[in-house]
Structure 1
Amino acid sequence: MKILIATHKPYQIPEISGYQPIMVGSALRDEVPAGYLRDDQGENISSLNPFFNELTALYWAKYNLRDEDIVGLAHYRRYFGTKSSHNLADILSQEQIYDALEKVDVLLPKQRNYYIESQENHYLNAHKNEPYFMMQDVIKESFPEYLSAFQQMGQSKKAHLFNMAIMKQADFQSYTDFMFGVLNQVAQRIPYESYEGQDRRVFGFLSERLMDTWLYTNHKTFQDFPLVTTEKTNWLDKGTQFLKRKFFKNTNKKVHF
């Protein structure tokens, strides 16, 4: 088992069997802390980290962790937990992960519910619109069996976000085949290198809409887990920004906290 902890800076990392920090964008950094994996060794897209974010860790894992039975991704600020908390002691243990995967195919963070808008509208209110519609075109043309689930995801008010998941190797390969297959084609059709600000992180945002698309198309069973977060969220600011994006389209957009 290898649960990668994606980070872009030195950080307090829990010492739990099966978990391993990985410095994303290692190819762009002067040094990587001792004990951290690098995402620029073997087959990789490390240099594309400004556009792919934590997905460079998933790409590295796809080609360099093929001997692991179970592969997963957490963030330096977010982990799968037994309960919602800020206490690292509540992070799922290796034994709890094994037990859960005996019952379901995929472990996921608790769904985010936006209540007053669909996932498609939420994305379009927060990000450049062209990449989303281009992704829809790519799925329609090259992955038509996924189109129905993609549209279902778009109309839903709930989604599994953060690109976090834990699953067995065969499912991990299936998911990443689909996800990178879609994103690679989108990358050929949009001028992402000219994007500025948060829009440069386009593929990390797009991919969040592909997990449920893959999940429901392939009829995978799953279990949601609460998040253990190392930093507290300012929910007043987060809620205010959400409403500004929805009702005041021309305001500066802030989507990550």
Structure 2
Amino acid sequence: MLRKIYEWKHTYGYMFNMMIMERELLDEYCTWLFDILFELSKRVDMSYLSGFQGRFYGRISEIIFNVWLDQKIQSGEIKKDQVMEIPYIHMEKINGWKKGTSFLKAKFFGKKYEGSF
């Protein structure tokens, strides 16, 4: 019987692989993350992926950061009030219409993204 290890209940996430934290915590996170990514690299054939699709390591690392952070908060190693969001800006122009319609097409019709916005 399979046991549920992690149940995603969030409607948000910390993305862009940007964080500021103490060195020891960052070392711990990077060790955890790169163990996963190195194992993934052994199992995924990248020869058929486009350049855009080949960025999946970055996308996966954005998502699983939230898993790592939740575990640290639940274990008490990090207090929820220690997690902060700071303002940021996009240096490149983003086509909001294209991004929004691509999101809806992916969600409702299963159409995959084939480029950035």
Give the TM-score category using the shorter length. 0.7 to 0.9
| Greater shift in the superposed pair: 205-214 or 224-233 | 224-233
2:37 is aligned with 1:183:
yes
**Preserved contact between residue 183 and residue 203 of structure 1 (Cα < 8 Å):** yes
Give the aligned CA root-mean-square deviation in angstroms: 2.0
Deviation per CA, 1:122-171: give whole Å up to 9, x if none: xxxxxxxxxxxxxxxxxx9xxxxxx42xx32xx42211111111111001
Aligned partner (choices 222, 242, 248) of residue 83 of structure 2 = 222
Letter in 1 for 2:21: M
2:106 is aligned with 1:245:
yes
Structure 1 residue 247: Cα displacement: 1.5
| Matches for 1:154-165 after TM superposition, within 5 Å | 155-165=9-19
Q: Which has the larger radius of gyration?
A: 1
Letter in 1 for 2:26: F
> How far apart in 2 are the matches of 1:196 and 1:230?
24
Instruction: Name whichever structure is richer in strand by fraction.
Output: 1
Q: Where has structure 1 moved over 6 Å in runs of 4 or more?
A: none
Structure 1 residue 234: Cα displacement: 1.9
How many residues are paired up?
107
> How far apart in 1 are the matches of 2:56 and 2:91?
25
Could you tell me which residue of structure 2 aligns to residue 205 of structure 1?
A: 59
Structure 1 residue 252: Cα displacement: 5.3
Flag structure 2 segments of 5+ consecutive residues without an equivalent.
Answer: none
State the TM-score, normalized to the length of structure 2.
Answer: 0.79
Instruction: Name whichever structure is richer in helix by fraction.
Output: 2
Deviation per CA, 1:93-136: give whole Å up to 9, x if none: xxxxxxxxxxxxxxxxxxxxxxxxxxxxxxxxxxxxxxxxxxxx
Could you tell me which residue of structure 1 aligns to residue 96 of structure 2?
A: 235
